[in-house]
């Protein structure tokens, strides 16, 4: 059995290729070649399927989903779903395959084909709310996957851990009153989108850990242990989903935390230890942010090296 499945499709490069935008094709342009150059022994690279839109309805308003799918351009036009979320002719396939990657990964993990999976997708998802696209995100990939686990596999104790530097307001919105999902987020605060204060607790299933600008590696790791790892060990989840944003890196242009690649190695190791203790190593990781290309590439490689051990 392969330890780690990686899901990637060339169409992710075709999502909005003409704009000079932080969430750009260069983010994933070279990543498969870089992975292959590492000669990792315990991975299998797969192309994801397009998702059945009925599975999107589990996490989003049906009216919103249908309206959004109808807004993708069929020509060279760029359409903005909100002021930060452009879509192009190549975006529809990418969006459906980004969400589909999570579904494929859930099936592979639950059917014991692999222990964990990493989906290197565009567009990202964690800002997409129940009835709104925003912040580069069309649909919420991790939320769709979590609802799929609940509906198909009767999962009732899922943990979503989001270490993207921006708060995943969309994921919080979708699960705010759902005790089957605990959402954990470390994020710079205040920063876009302005949510994620400690008083946003849902039904005691939202664990928000706002961080001040300039937070160092040592400070972050201590806080992560105290506020995230300890709480996860109390929850004892039976499936773990990671919103893997790498924009807390010190070189990222959109924020001001001071992490480096080794921090993402440590985070991955800590989360894998929790998964080993409580959920038979079951981890689905999905790419979110990260906008310095070199830092993103190096961080993805380190994250994947740890997952495939």
Show me where the domains of the chain are located.
Answer: 2-307
Bridging pattern class, strands 43-46 and 206-211: unpaired
What per-residue confidence (pLDDT) applies to 271?
98
* Whole-number Å distance between alpha carbons of 163 and 161: 6
Q: Which of 66, 73, 112, 105 is nearest to 89 (CA)?
A: 73
What per-residue confidence (pLDDT) applies to 1?
59
Region at 281 (left for phi over 0; alpha for psi -120 to 50; beta for the rest): left
Active site residues per annotation: 127
What per-residue confidence (pLDDT) applies to 2?
72
Q: Which of 299, 300, 297, 307 is nearest to 270 (CA)?
A: 307
* Whole-number Å distance between alpha carbons of 76 and 221: 45
Residue whose tokens read 């780690």 = 4
* Whole-number Å distance between alpha carbons of 292 and 271: 24
pTM, two decimal places: 0.98
Angle between helix 91-110 and helix 141-153 axes, rounded to 10 deg:
40
The fold of 2-307 is 3.40.800
What per-residue confidence (pLDDT) applies to 214?
98
Going from the first residue of the chain to its last (309 residues), give the mean pLDDT of each consecutive group of 10, the final group possibly shorter. Answer: 91 95 97 95 96 98 98 96 97 98 98 97 98 98 99 98 98 98 98 98 98 98 98 98 98 98 98 98 98 98 97
Bridging pattern class, strands 114-119 and 206-211: unpaired
Contact (CB, 8 A) for 23 and 120: no
Pair of tokens at residue 286: 């999905």
Establish how many alpha carbons lie within 13 A of residue 209's alpha carbon, considering only the half-sphere containing its beta carbon. Answer: 24
For the chain, the residue count is: 309
């Amino acid at each position: 059995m392969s330890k780690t499945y990686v899901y990637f499709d060339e169409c992710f490069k075709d999502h909005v290729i003409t704009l000079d935008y932080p969430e750009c094709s260069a983010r994933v342009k070279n990543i498969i070649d870089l992975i292959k150059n590492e000669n990792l022994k315990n991975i299998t690279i797969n192309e994801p399927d397009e998702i059945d839109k009925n599975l999107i309805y589990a996490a989003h308003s049906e009216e919103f989903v249908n309206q959004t799918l109808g807004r993708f351009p069929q020509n060279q036009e760029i359409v903005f779903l909100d002021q930060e979320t452009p879509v192009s002719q190549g975006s529809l396939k990418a969006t459906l395959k980004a969400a589909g990657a999570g579904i494929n990964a859930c099936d592979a993990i639950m059917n014991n084909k692999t222990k964990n999976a990493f989906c290197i997708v565009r567009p990202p998802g964690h800002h997409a709310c129940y009835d709104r696209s925003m912040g580069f995100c069309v649909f919420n990939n991790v939320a769709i996957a979590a609802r799929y686990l609940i509906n198909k596999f009767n999962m009732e104790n899922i943990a979503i851990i989001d270490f993207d530097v921006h708060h995943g307001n969309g994921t919080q919105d979708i699960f705010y009153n759902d005790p089957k999902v605990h959402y954990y987020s470390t994020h710079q605060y205040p920063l876009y989108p302005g949510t994620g204060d400690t008083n946003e607790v849902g039904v005691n299933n939202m664990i928000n850990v706002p961080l001040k600008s300039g937070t160092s590696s040592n400070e972050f790791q201590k806080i992560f242990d105290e506020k995230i790892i300890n709480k996860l060990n109390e929850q004892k989840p039976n499936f773990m989903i990671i919103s893997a944003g790498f924009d807390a890196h010190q070189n990222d242009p959109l924020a001001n935390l001071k992490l480096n690649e080794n921090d993402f190695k440590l985070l991955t190791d800590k989360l894998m230890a929790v998964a080993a203790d409580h959920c038979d190593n079951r981890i689905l990781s999905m790419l979110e942010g990260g906008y310095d290309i070199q830092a993103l590439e190096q961080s993805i490689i380190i994250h994947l090296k740890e997952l495939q051990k």
